Amino acid sequence: MKLFEYTAYQGELNGVIDKFMMLHRWQVGFIRVFSAPDNMITVQLYYRDDKHETETAGVLS
């Protein structure tokens, strides 16, 4: 499992959403969300990085 960690203000969690949208369902282990100081949130996304399927479609801006 790999860890992707992102800390941001509550309204600025686009980095986590972008990473999550690039993963298949079988790759996601679990997600932890923590309250951080100064109205911030830390999100930890644990995922499998072994790619035995084709490339996923990502988020289009």
Write out pLDDT tens, residues 9-60: 877 777 777 777 888 888 889 889 999 888 898 888 898 887 655 555 554 4
Which pLDDT value is given to residue 7?
A: 86
Task: Give the other-Cβ count within 10 Å of 47's Cβ.
Answer: 19
* Predicted model pTM: 0.62
